[in-house]
Amino acid sequence: MSIGPLDDETIEKYRKAGEVLRTVMDESAEMVEPGVTHLEVAEHAEERIRELADGCAFPANISINEEASHASPGRDDDTVFGEDMVCLDLGVHVDGYIADSAVTIDLSGNTELVESAEEALDAALDMVEAGAHTGKIGAEIEDVIRGYGYTPVLNLSGHGVEQWDAHTDPTIPNRGADRGVELEVGDVVAIEPFATDGTGKVTEGSKNEIYSLVNDRSVRDRMSRQLLDEVREKYKLLPFAARWFDGGRSEMAIRRLEQQGVLRGYPVLKEEEGAMVGQAEHTVIVTEDGYENLTE
């Protein structure tokens, strides 16, 4: 049965993406323990997603402590987990239709911070229905997190997902807002509260491992042209990791394409005071009688 503008085939692709994501998230989260490298977990998650679905909607994000998003290990990264707050954010696509989910694995002893994000997500989901105002959902997220004595990350938000596009409208803020839109039947949205014991603002760090195609045009350099052809064929507009390509020349080509404005880089986002960040996320389809959770 169709849901709003989504036909049966599209819905089944979203459901398949969510089913694969649940499986891979459970496997990958169990791997997170002291002594294991970030790269081991990322590569396991990405390889399993490719085995079970059409591909990754974005590289495995493994954000540690003050990191909130866009953290993914490099090709030779040997960083291991310690007594960390670990946010694991994974995305799966089936024919470009995306499921996006995140969990926080706490190895640092800050369980209430994690609980605040999880409870905020549950409260937000309770509000999801056709006609629900995104600003009011954000107010509920903010109320729950502040009720724990923490602060929502105010300049990060939930988002819609569409075919080959992991971040579309509508925006689901992590704070109350008068401006916003009402959810409609057939909207597919990823709701993701971020909670912190800091100021509630993230800024860009210097590390950058994730890129996407933003300006598809011809380029002269042969290596850059070959890499761009591969991006177009395999990833289209979805983000990819530099380590997914052979090293050396490919890294030079990526840098050159970024300088030319063909590719966009996504620097790691960090809490501006270096405070801890916890995250929780599910992707849902808004239905006539509420919602269907794709990733729970």
Residues 109-130 have pLDDT tens digits of: 999 999 999 999 999 999 999 9
Q: Say if 39 falls within a structural domain.
A: yes
| Strand 55-64 relative to strand 202-213, pairing | unpaired
pTM for the structure as a whole: 0.96
Q: 52-81: per-residue pLDDT in tens?
A: 999 999 999 999 999 999 999 999 999 999
Q: What CATH number is associated with residue 228? A: 1.10.10.10
CA 257 to chain centre: 24
Task: Choose the catalytic residue: 115, 119, 140, 192.
Answer: 192
Q: Say if 2 falls within a structural domain.
A: no
Q: Say if 258 falls within a structural domain.
A: yes
Instruction: Give me 155's structure tokens.
Output: 């300049």
Q: Is 38 annotated as a binding residue?
A: no
Neighbours of 169 (CB within 10 A): 12
| Strand 165-173 relative to strand 157-162, pairing | antiparallel
140 and 62 within one domain = yes
Query: Which residue spans within the chain are E strands per DSSP?
Result: 55-64, 67-69, 85-94, 97-106, 151-152, 157-162, 165-173, 188-191, 194-196, 202-213, 240-241, 263-271, 277-279, 282-287, 290-293
Question: Over the chain, what is the mean pLDDT?
Answer: 96
Task: Choose the catalytic residue: 89, 140, 271, 292.
Answer: 89
- Is 46 annotated in the active site? no
Classify residue 221 as exposed, middle or buried by CB count within 10 Å of its CB (0-12, 13-18, 19+).
middle
193 and 109 within one domain = yes
Give the pLDDT score at 1: 66
Q: What is the DSSP-derived secondary structure letter of residue 243?
A: G
Q: Say if 47 falls within a structural domain.
A: yes
Q: Is 140 annotated as a binding residue?
A: no
151 and 276 within one domain = yes
256 and 285 within one domain = no
Query: Taking 90 as the threshold, does the pLDDT of residue 246 lie above it?
Result: no
Q: Which residue has the higher pLDDT, 89 or 248?
A: 89
Share of the chain above pLDDT 70, in %: 100
Query: Taking 80 as the threshold, does the pLDDT of residue 2 lie above it?
Result: no
- Is 167 annotated in the active site? yes
214 and 191 within one domain = no
- Is 77 annotated in the active site? no
pLDDT confidence tier of residue 175, bands split at 50, 70 and 90: very high
Instruction: Give me 3's structure tokens.
Output: 């849901």
139 and 229 within one domain = no
Residue 265, CB-side half-sphere exposure with 13 Å CA sphere: 20
pLDDT confidence tier of residue 247, bands split at 50, 70 and 90: confident
- Is 89 annotated in the active site? yes
243 and 139 within one domain = no
- Domains in the chain, number: 2
248 and 128 within one domain = no
Give the pLDDT score at 25: 98
Q: Say if 1 falls within a structural domain.
A: no
Q: Say if 241 falls within a structural domain.
A: yes
Task: Choose the catalytic residue: 84, 100, 106, 292.
Answer: 100
- For residues 253-265, give the mean pLDDT: 96
Q: Is 229 annotated as a binding residue?
A: no
Q: Say if 3 falls within a structural domain.
A: no
Contact 87, 255 (CB under 8 A): no
Q: Is 100 annotated as a binding residue?
A: yes
Q: 16-59: per-residue pLDDT in tens?
A: 999 999 999 999 999 999 999 999 999 999 999 999 999 999 99
100 and 130 within one domain = yes
250 and 191 within one domain = no
Q: What CATH number is associated with residue 90? A: 3.90.230.10
Q: Is 70 annotated as a binding residue?
A: yes
Give the whole-angstrom CA distance, residue 173 versus residue 189: 12
**Site of tokens 């989901």:** 125
- For residues 283-293, give the mean pLDDT: 97
283 and 218 within one domain = no
- Is 289 annotated in the active site? no
- Is 282 annotated in the active site? no
109 and 34 within one domain = yes
Domain membership of residue 48 as a residue range: 8-204+272-293
pLDDT confidence tier of residue 137, bands split at 50, 70 and 90: very high
Cα distances (Å, whole numbers) of residue 120 to 40, 82, 137: 30, 27, 10
